[in-house]
């Protein structure tokens, strides 16, 4: 066994001198550029799954205080909630860390953007057809970082916000959390409504490119099915954003 320099890797690789087998890889799959894309895609799609679940739960608001509060109480008392929250946090951290490191690597590799400077918007550009590069894809890092800020504000307002106890109208359980009241309190404030609508629209924008890009990274790219997948992903992005946006707007303008 001797140490020889692999022609494929920058670091020395241990391999038997007589063997023709490929060099043993020192780095894991998830640190290669393909692996990193796959990791971003898997974590991104998990977060989309959470968003759909979270949206469905929050839309119970339209069925009245009892539905929303009892659903949230069912979540809080569920023994799986803490492991699920830890898993969600880990997925989120990996997704953001991968996004930032990829962006920094790409930026140092190509400091001058290759798109046509005449088509720039606020320093971000888009390539014309047939390229899939658009404003949404060029601003992923910006919209992603806005989502991080949104999430911090959102958790402080809701998860760690005031805990108004109420008695469950259906089961008579005392002391369940009155999230309906918290929703109404927050979304009767015009500044909070504007902040939410703005951030939720950006989340839709992030998903507009993110879902299609994730499917692409996972190899779901086919000349026949890709256009349909692209449409489904974009419809999903719009529905998710619109569903969330409906909540503050309904409370502010309709319920009052
Ligand atoms: C109008 C839109 C939204 C409303 C009304 C809303 C409402 C809430 C409420 C009431 C909670 C607290 C639930 C509890 O502690 O039981 C919560 C938690 C949370 N929300 Fe939202 N949410 C909205 C949008 C979003 C969006 C767009 C995201 C992600 C980008 C998000 C991510 C989270 C997370 C991660 C938690 C903590 C979940 C947990 O730890 O169990 N929310 N939200």
Confidence of residue 29 (pLDDT cuts 50, 70, 90): confident
Q: State residue 114's pLDDT score.
A: 52
Instruction: Determine the Cα–Cα distance for residues 180 and 216; give it in Å rounded to an integer.
Output: 39
Q: From the CB of residue 244, how many other CB atoms can be counted at a distance below 10 Å?
A: 22
Q: State residue 25's pLDDT score.
A: 55
Assess whether pLDDT exceeds 60 at residue 74: yes
Instruction: Determine the Cα–Cα distance for residues 82 and 102; give it in Å rounded to an integer.
Output: 30
Mean pLDDT to the nearest integer, 245-251:
98
Inter-axis angle of helices 140-154 and 81-109, to 10 degrees? 150
Assess whether pLDDT exceeds 90 at residue 134: no
For the chain, the structural domain boundaries read: 47-111+121-255
Confidence of residue 198 (pLDDT cuts 50, 70, 90): very high
Separation of CA 203 and ligand 1 centre (Å):
13
What residue ranges line ligand 1, CB within 6 angstroms?
51, 54, 58, 72, 75-76, 85, 147, 151, 154-155, 158-159, 179, 183, 196, 200, 203, 244, 247-248
Q: State residue 118's pLDDT score.
A: 40
Q: For 127, left (φ over 0), alpha (ψ -120 to 50), or beta?
A: beta
Q: State residue 82's pLDDT score.
A: 97
Q: Return the higher-pLDDT residue of 173 and 49.
A: 49
How many angstroms from the chain centroid is the CA of residue 63?
Answer: 27
Mean pLDDT to the nearest integer, 223-242:
94
Confidence of residue 79 (pLDDT cuts 50, 70, 90): very high
Assess whether pLDDT exceeds 80 at residue 95: yes
Confidence of residue 77 (pLDDT cuts 50, 70, 90): very high
How many angstroms from the chain centroid is the CA of residue 27?
Answer: 27
Assess whether pLDDT exceeds 60 at residue 13: no
């Amino acid at each position: 066994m001797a140490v020889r320099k692999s022609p494929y890797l920058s670091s020395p690789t241990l391999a038997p001198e007589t063997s023709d087998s490929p060099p043993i890889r020192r780095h894991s799959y998830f640190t290669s550029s393909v692996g990193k894309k796959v990791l971003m895609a898997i974590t991104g799609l998990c977060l989309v799954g959470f968003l759909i679940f979270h949206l469905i739960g929050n839309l119970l608001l339209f069925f009245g205080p009892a539905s929303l509060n009892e659903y949230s109480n069912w979540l809080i008392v569920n023994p799986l909630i803490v492991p699920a929250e830890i898993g969600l946090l880990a997925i989120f951290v990996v997704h953001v860390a991968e996004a930032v490191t990829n962006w920094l690597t790409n930026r140092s590799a190509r400091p001058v953007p290759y798109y046509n400077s005449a088509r720039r918007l606020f320093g971000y550009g888009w390539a014309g057809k047939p390229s899939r590069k658009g404003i949404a894809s060029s601003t992923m890092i910006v919209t992603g970082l806005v989502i991080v800020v949104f999430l911090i504000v959102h958790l402080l307002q809701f998860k760690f916000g005031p805990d108004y106890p109420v008695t469950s109208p259906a089961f008579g359980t005392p002391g369940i959390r009155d999230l309906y009241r918290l929703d109404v309190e927050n979304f009767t404030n015009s500044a909070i409504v504007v902040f939410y609508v703005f951030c939720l629209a950006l989340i839709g924008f992030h998903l507009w490119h993110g879902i299609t890009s994730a499917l692409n990274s996972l190899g779901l790219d086919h000349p026949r099915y890709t256009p349909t997948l692209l449409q489904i992903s974009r419809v999903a992005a719009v529905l998710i954003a619109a569903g969330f946006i409906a909540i503050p707007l309904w409370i502010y303008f309709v319920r009052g």
